[in-house]
Amino acid sequence: MLNKLSSVQCFGGQQLRFEHSSKVLNCTMQFSVFLPPQAEQSRVPALYWLSGLTCTDENFSSKAGAQRTAAELGLALIIPDTSPRGDDVPDAEDGAYDFGLGAGFYVNATQEPFAKHYQMDSYVVDELRHLVEAELPVNSLRSIAGHSMGGHGAIALALRNPGLYRSVSAFAPIAHPSSCPWGRKAFTGYLGSDPKAWRDYDSVEMIQAGKPCPPLFVDQGDADQFLPEQLGFDALKVACESSQIDATLRLQAGYDHSYYFIASFITDHLRFHAQYLVD
């Protein structure tokens, strides 16, 4: 059951925020939704947006400027939080930004004390999806996108669930988390120290293993401060080329890792997804 926290008119549609009790995450969760004006007449397709480290469900809705084009195209935007929240939810012992609260990495944790709450894979793929499609004017046509940690999540969840998402896109995704500091830290904490347990959440590894991928679109800024050490763009490009998947990977000159980068190209991503979602 959804509890509406706020509703603001935006480009003829509604920017909404909801709260609900999550059985999967064992806590109360909040998420944001943009419903385009077309949703007043019929159920509309949805793009799920997964945000990055330290973000909540409100960063994308307030910074990306996606609502104008989503309203034009008739796309709902579903924006979950990045991790479970609450006083009982364990956090990083040192309060680090790249693990724990705000850094759920969209995995189903197997390690204690995180396994009880950090089930973000099942939350996004199953619980939130069913809730949204049951209680909001959203149909069963869906795609997924994200930024940084959320870009990792978007590609990984699309690869893990063939046929669930019609298309996938990402800005500066952590594409090869098994080989970077952010990913190794998160995967060790949530999934354990055996790298074999990480493969099912590593996009490059899954593509190399032959997992089917929906049409993929990635933008990466070449001035991104995290590109050399954290993001694995070159490894993703090699994996896509060798597997001959339907992928467009763009390296954008002069752009960094920020929401200024996302705002500059979000319209391209929405129009990309509309090809697969809107008749």
Whether 88 maps to a domain, the answer reads yes
Radius of gyration of the chain (CA): 17
23 burial via Cβ count (<10 Å: 0-12, 13-18, 19+): exposed
Residue 55 belongs to domain spanning: 3-274
What is the pLDDT at residue 33?
Answer: 98
Tell me how far apart the terminal alpha carbons of the chain are, to the nearest angstrom: 31
- Let me know: does 166 contact 141? Beta carbons within 8 Å: yes
What is the pLDDT at residue 250?
Answer: 98
- Let me know: does 257 contact 229? Beta carbons within 8 Å: no
Whether 279 maps to a domain, the answer reads no
Q: Look up the pTM and report it.
A: 0.96
Question: Can you give the CATH number for the domain in which 187 is found?
Answer: 3.40.50.1820
What is the pLDDT at residue 269?
Answer: 98
Per-residue pLDDT of the chain in tens (279 residues, 90 and over written 9): 899 999 999 999 999 999 999 999 999 999 999 999 999 999 999 999 999 999 999 999 999 999 999 999 999 999 999 999 999 999 998 889 999 999 999 999 999 999 999 999 999 999 999 999 999 999 999 999 999 999 999 999 999 999 999 999 999 999 999 999 999 999 999 999 999 999 999 999 999 999 999 999 999 999 999 999 999 999 999 999 999 898 999 999 999 999 999 999 999 999 999 999 997
Distant-in-sequence, close-in-space partners of 228: CB < 8 Å, separation ≥ 6: none
Whether 119 maps to a domain, the answer reads yes
Whether 18 maps to a domain, the answer reads yes
What is the pLDDT at residue 95?
Answer: 83
Domain count, the chain: 1
Whether 157 maps to a domain, the answer reads yes
What is the pLDDT at residue 94?
Answer: 84
Distant-in-sequence, close-in-space partners of 87: CB < 8 Å, separation ≥ 6: none
What is the pLDDT at residue 18?
Answer: 98
Q: Between the CA of residue 121 and those of 26, 161, 170, 243, 264, what are the distances in Å?
A: 14, 10, 17, 25, 28
Question: Catalytic residues, which ones?
Answer: 148, 224, 257
Whether 169 maps to a domain, the answer reads yes
Whether 95 maps to a domain, the answer reads yes
What is the pLDDT at residue 279?
Answer: 75
